[in-house]
């Protein structure tokens, strides 16, 4: 790790995001898989708290390093709101996806301890329609989008530089995630996090993979809404990070107008060059590029005759 007080490197931030997402998937999804395989009663409250508590622990442990996102949707909202440079987003998202897949892979391996276990029977993958609870695709999309916007909005508020109780941010973030799971678990299995869906989904068979689009697009759209709306409504808690926010085209440079009495002086505008000739603004005539301007003599007609080849 870096020296005490030093700013974490991108590699350290990526490592923190990978570990945090790994633990979130392993513990959260594991609470579903193990309860089902042993025939225990797995309630919505139990599962939601498993995800929420895992988030509390990981944000508290690694928040100082990377901010404790563990979710591509949170990373997107953070960049849009001016708190994370876009150049760091690929490292964050790549680490989160790697951690989620690794967590699902370890869970799959551990679940082999149950006789007859098959990945297709469930790694806590998300679903909708006939593959899940029968919840319609449009309703599942809307639910995931709205709940992600709420949870990500809480993350932005809890970590705002103006927040007087930022030390409570891990608890607030974990509870908001658990609250979202209370609602979404019966309908879609609760995603609110593309990485949490992609990890188990990739290892749960073709049907799960074909439904991943909803659990990627809906959370990202909800996060984009929260990331844009928060600074617009509440302002920035601190100066936006360089290279963050909504990309804007740089304004076109406009050459200042010459001051009065200097309009005819050379050097007030870029030289005009064409076909090897340059316009002399003093003599008001064209001259070859390799020829110095002629000396002015008394009685000249001020050079107002323009000669152009």
Predicted pLDDT at 308:
47
Other Cβ atoms less than 10 A from the Cβ of 164: the count is 7
Q: What is the pTM of this model?
A: 0.78
pLDDT digits (tens, 9 = 90+) for 2-23: 454 578 999 999 999 999 999 9
52 or 289, which is more confident?
52
Calpha distance 10→37 (Å, rounded): 39
Residue 231's pLDDT is: 95
Task: Tell me if 161 is assigned to some domain.
Answer: yes
In this structure, of 125-139, 250-264, 278-292, the range with the lowest mean pLDDT score is 250-264
68 lies in a domain?
A: yes
> Is 210's pLDDT higher than 50?
yes
- Does 189 have pLDDT greater than 90? yes
Cβ atoms of 132 and 125 closer than 8 Å: no
Q: Which two tokens stand for residue 121?
A: 């029977």
pLDDT of residue 307: 46
Whole-number Å distance between alpha carbons of 58 and 287:
73
Write out the DSSP string of 51-91. HHHHHHHHHHHHHHHH-S--SHHHHHHHHHTTSS-GGGHHH
Region 45-49: mean pLDDT is 93
pLDDT given for residue 5 in this prediction: 58
- Which candidate, 151, 276, 271, 158, places its Cα nearest to that of 219? 151
Check whether 186 has a pLDDT greater than 50: yes
**Distance between first and last Cα of the chain:** 70
For residue 41, is it within any domain?
Answer: yes
Report yes or no on 261 lying in a domain: no
Overall domain count for the chain:
1
Rounded Cα gap, residues 198 and 124, in angstroms: 11
What would the two tokens of residue 217 be?
A: 């697009």
Rounded mean pLDDT of the chain? Answer: 85
Of 69-78, 140-149, 284-293, which range is least confident?
Answer: 284-293
pLDDT single digits (tens) 119-168: 666 789 999 999 888 999 999 999 999 999 999 999 999 999 999 988 99
Most confident of 129-138, 218-227, 297-306: 218-227
Residue 295 lies in a domain: no
How many CB atoms are closer than 10 A to CB 275? 8
- Identify the bridge partners of residue 278 per DSSP, sorted by sequence position: 273, 287
pLDDT of residue 39: 64
Is residue 267 in a domain?
Answer: no
Over residues 65-74, the mean pLDDT reads 97
Looking at the chain, the whole-number percentage of residues with pLDDT higher than 90 is: 61
The pLDDT score that the predictor gives to residue 266 is: 43
Domain span holding position 100 = 10-113+129-234
Task: Determine, yes or no, domain membership for 182.
Answer: yes
Enter the DSSP assignment of 126.
-
Q: What is the CATH number of the domain that holds 226?
A: 1.20.1080.10
In a domain, 243, yes or no: no
């Amino acid at each position: 790790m870096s020296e005490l007080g030093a700013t974490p490197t991108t590699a350290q931030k990526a490592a923190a995001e990978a570990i945090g997402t790994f633990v979130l998937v392993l513990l959260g999804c594991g609470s579903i898989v193990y309860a089902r395989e042993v025939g225990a009663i797995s309630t919505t409250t139990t599962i939601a708290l498993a995800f929420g508590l895992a988030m509390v622990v990981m944000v508290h442990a690694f928040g100082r390093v990377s901010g404790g996102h563990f979710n591509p949707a949170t990373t997107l909202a953070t960049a849009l709101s001016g708190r994370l440079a876009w150049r760091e987003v690929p490292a964050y998202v790549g680490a989160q996806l790697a951690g989620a897949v690794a967590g699902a892979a370890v869970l799959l391996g551990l679940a082999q301890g149950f006789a007859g276990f098959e990945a297709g029977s469930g790694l806590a993958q998300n679903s909708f329609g006939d593959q899940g609870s029968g919840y319609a695709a449009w309703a599942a999309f809307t639910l995931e989008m709205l709940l992600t916007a709420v949870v990500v909005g809480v993350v932005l508020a809890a970590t705002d530089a103006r927040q007087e109780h930022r030390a409570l941010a891990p608890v607030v973030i974990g509870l908001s995630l658990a609250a979202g799971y209370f609602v979404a678990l019966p309908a879609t299995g609760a995603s609110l996090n593309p990485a949490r869906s992609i990890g188990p989904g990739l290892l749960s068979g073709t049907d799960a993979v074909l439904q991943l689009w909803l659990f990627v697009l809906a959370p990202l759209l909800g996060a984009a809404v929260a990331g844009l709306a928060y600074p617009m409504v509440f302002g920035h808690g601190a100066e936006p990070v360089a290279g963050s926010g909504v990309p804007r085209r740089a304004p076109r440079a406009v050459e200042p107008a010459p001051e009065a009495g200097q309009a005819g002086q050379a050097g007030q505008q870029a030289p005009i060059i064409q076909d090897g000739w340059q316009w002399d603004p003093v003599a008001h005539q064209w001259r070859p590029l390799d020829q110095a301007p002629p000396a002015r003599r008394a009685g000249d007609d001020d050079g107002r005759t323009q000669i152009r080849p």
